[in-house]
Amino acid sequence: MDKSGFRLYLDPEGEHDIGGDDYLGYTTIYRNDEVTAEYNGYQLSNDGSVWTPPEPAPEPEPAPEPTLEELREAKVQEMNALQQATIQNGINVTLTDGTVEHFTLSVDDKIMLMALQSRVAAGEEEISWHNSNEEEHCKFYSNADMALIITAAENIVTWHVTYCKDLCIYIRSLETKEDVAAVVYGMELPEEFQSKPLKVMIAAQAV
């Protein structure tokens, strides 16, 4: 490996020197590794400097294990989100003619259904509303059918709000991470964590 510096010629015969003595001082191997090997050469420096590879990036610190309390609260948030999604997904209602239609229960849906209660109470026989089929127009429902829709909506909302409240109390009582991880929305709650309203609704479902 030649470290005596070099001259720069314009022609292969070496007759037209265009570098003069400028490159004779390049006598220190600056870099000679797999990178320079790709072009079958090496790099020199004229000031004694040597290439130093950058320090490798430090390995990221592992995330700390969540505490039991953090896992409980994360599970509570998860259950609340599932409660809201389940309610918004809506309900199937069997109408007076025996047909079954699905109705979503978004926030706007619930507000509008509450407003329609007064029209049901007033005895109106044609009340416009929409089911969940986006390809269908709004249509008129009879007073009896609208009462069924509103009652079913109220019942499903009351059930999920009550159940989720009791479920979150249960989650916050758990003493191991494994028990918290095992919680799923819709699981049967131990009786001691069932509120009186929830017990009444469970009993009504069993009839």
Q: 118-134, pLDDT tens digit by residue?
A: 999 999 999 999 998 88
Q: How far apart are CA 194 and CA 207, in angstroms?
A: 18
Question: Both 84 and 49 in a single domain?
Answer: no
Question: Both 147 and 175 in a single domain?
Answer: yes
pLDDT tens, residue by residue, 14-37: 777 776 777 777 788 888 888 888
Instruction: Look at residue 95 and tell me whether its pLDDT is greater than 90.
Output: yes
Question: Both 22 and 113 in a single domain?
Answer: no
The set of residues, in sequence order, having a beta carbon less than 8 Å from that of 172 and lying 6+ positions away, is 72, 76
**Residue 126 in domain:** yes
What does the pLDDT read at residue 6? 67
Question: Both 72 and 148 in a single domain?
Answer: yes
Question: Both 87 and 123 in a single domain?
Answer: yes
> CA neighbours within 13 Å on the CB side: how many for 136?
12
pLDDT tens, residue by residue, 42-92: 787 888 888 898 888 888 888 899 999 999 999 999 999 999 999 999 999
Question: Both 123 and 100 in a single domain?
Answer: yes
**pTM of the predicted model as reported, rounded to 2 decimal places:** 0.70
Question: Both 98 and 184 in a single domain?
Answer: yes
Q: How far apart are CA 11 and CA 49, in angstroms?
A: 30
Question: Both 81 and 167 in a single domain?
Answer: yes
Question: Both 137 and 74 in a single domain?
Answer: yes
**Residue 153 in domain:** yes
The mean-pLDDT minimum among 49-63, 77-91, 136-150, 187-201 falls in: 49-63
Q: How far apart are CA 42 and CA 65, in angstroms?
A: 48
**Residue 122 in domain:** yes
Question: Both 87 and 160 in a single domain?
Answer: yes
Q: How far apart are CA 178 and CA 188, in angstroms?
A: 17
What does the pLDDT read at residue 3? 58
pLDDT band at 8 (very low <50, low <70, confident <90, very high): low
Higher pLDDT, 27 or 98: 98
- Domain count for the chain: 2
Instruction: Look at residue 1 and tell me whether its pLDDT is greater than 60.
Output: no
Question: Both 73 and 156 in a single domain?
Answer: yes
**Residue 62 in domain:** no
pLDDT tens, residue by residue, 153-169: 999 999 999 999 999 99
**Residue 159 in domain:** yes
The mean of the pLDDT values for the chain is 90
**Residue 170 in domain:** yes
Distances (CA, A) of 56 to 2, 38, 61: 31, 22, 15
Question: Both 72 and 45 in a single domain?
Answer: no
The range of the structural domain enclosing residue 18 comes to 1-53
Q: How far apart are CA 165 and CA 189, in angstroms?
A: 11
**Residue 58 in domain:** no
pLDDT band at 193 (very low <50, low <70, confident <90, very high): very high
